[in-house]
Amino acid sequence: MNRRSFLTATAAACLAAPARAQTLNYAAAAAYSSQRRGVSLVVLRAGALVFEDYPNEGGPARGWELASGTKSFAGIMAAAAIQDRLIRSWDERCAETLTEWRNDERRRITLRHLLSLTSGIEGGPIARPPAYADAVAQTATTAPGERFAYGPTPFQIFGEIMRRKIDGDPLAYLQRHVFDPLAITPTHWRRGNDGNPHMPSGAGLTARDWARFGHFVLRDGEGRLDRDALAACFEPSRANPGYGLSWWLLRDGLVAPGRTQTVDVDPSLARRFGPISMAAGAGDQRLYIIRDLDLVVARQALGILRALRRRDRGADVWSDGAFLRSLLDA
């Protein structure tokens, strides 16, 4: 589906039945989002644009930073690299590319460990990605697979792996192999002082483009990604049943990012509507994928810096459970 057909979907397509029939309460979801600093809310059902709302100075052509919502692109980039045979599998050892890891405890770390955040390398301070070289220089503090450690460092390490794999810019690879076929163009993307793109945060997209990306993932890469590699992004680790490979899984046992960075889980929703996956960023940036309903929801908001400063937001606090219950009329 190109951009034009996506944005001009017919009424018949808009009403196409999803995998499981479910009434959606767009007005309630929009009100909940708007009252909590929301600037965009886009809903795709069976690939059709069925609802959008742009309060608080938002707009369909305006891009907003995704914060850690950026992280989910790493898993999809890795799936594309597996499709292209740049990476053999998720169980390829990082030391095959990072030769400086071959003679120490890091030699056992696989790409699966790295992007499930169970490599044994500490995540590092939230929203402060290290330079690629500094990330690669970090040592492991626990054995691979033992502990979930959220933060930017593993994603910067993955950026360096991709940089060496293609001998070029990882963002250029993502653009060419994932975004271009979807007619997606980021409005901005932060880079470090080393010139490399931040892999854990800093991407800016319109809500429509973020939702389009979500639909591409829901539809298993639309034939352009290794299906098994993509499916692995939504398989939990033992260390965190609520995290796959760069994607959150809203289910029992989810280990939150940290004491001050939480993810709200209502297990009853997954029992009623099937698995719910999510890309999430500070300031309550959200991309929800509910496969059984053929549903994708992109939500963007103001307040990233405020959230990172850990200030109490009082009445405008965000709840994933409350938002999804309002949308699903549950």
Give tens-digit pLDDT for 233-244: 999 999 999 999
Can you tell me whether residue 74 is helix, strand or coil?
Answer: helix
Range name among 56-65, 155-164, 313-322 with the lowest pLDDT average: 313-322
Residue 114 CA to residue 116 CA, distance in Å, equals 6
Asked whether 111 and 91 are in contact (CB, 8 A), the reply is yes
* The one-letter amino acid at 206: T
Can you tell me whether residue 245 is helix, strand or coil?
Answer: coil
Q: How far is CA 188 from the centre of its chain?
A: 16
Helices 207-218 and 72-83 cross at an angle (nearest 10°) of 50
Reported as a single tens digit per residue, the pLDDT across 10-46 is: 333 444 444 577 899 999 999 999 999 999 999 999 9
Confidence of residue 264 (pLDDT cuts 50, 70, 90): confident
* Dihedral sign of CA atoms 216, 263, 260, 286 in order: positive
Q: Is residue 54 part of a domain?
A: no
Asked whether 62 and 209 are in contact (CB, 8 A), the reply is no
Can you tell me whether residue 92 is helix, strand or coil?
Answer: coil
Query: Which stretches does DSSP call E strand in the chain?
Result: 38-45, 48-53, 64-65, 188-189, 203-205, 248-249, 276-281, 285-290, 295-301
Nearest CA among 149, 179, 174, 148 for reference residue 162: 174
What pLDDT is recorded for position 316? Answer: 82
Residue at token pair 């792996």: 161
Can you tell me whether residue 1 is helix, strand or coil?
Answer: coil
- Residue range of the domain that includes 123: 65-287
What pLDDT is recorded for position 318? Answer: 93
Nearest CA among 160, 166, 94 for reference residue 132: 160
Two tokens at 250? 């809203």
Q: Is residue 3 part of a domain?
A: no
Q: Is residue 110 part of a domain?
A: yes
Share of the chain above pLDDT 70, in %: 92
Residue 161 CA to residue 130 CA, distance in Å, equals 15
User: How many angstroms separate the Cα of 309 from the Cα of each of 29, 64, 110?
Assistant: 27, 19, 33
Two tokens at 239? 């260390």
Q: Is residue 311 part of a domain?
A: no
Provide the mean pLDDT of the chain.
92
Give kind and range of the element (H or E) at residue 155. helix 153-166
Q: How far is CA 172 from the centre of its chain?
A: 18
Split into its structural domains, the chain has a count of 1
* The one-letter amino acid at 189: W
CATH code where residue 95 lies = 3.40.710.10
What pLDDT is recorded for position 260? Answer: 64
Q: Is residue 299 part of a domain?
A: no
Reported as a single tens digit per residue, the pLDDT across 284-308 is: 999 999 999 999 999 999 988 877 7
Q: Is residue 310 part of a domain?
A: no
Range name among 196-200, 206-210, 255-259, 292-296 with the lowest pLDDT average: 255-259
Stretch 96-100: mean pLDDT, rounded?
98
Confidence of residue 126 (pLDDT cuts 50, 70, 90): confident
Q: Is residue 144 part of a domain?
A: yes
Q: Is residue 37 part of a domain?
A: no
What pLDDT is recorded for position 311? Answer: 57
Residue 242 CA to residue 255 CA, distance in Å, equals 6
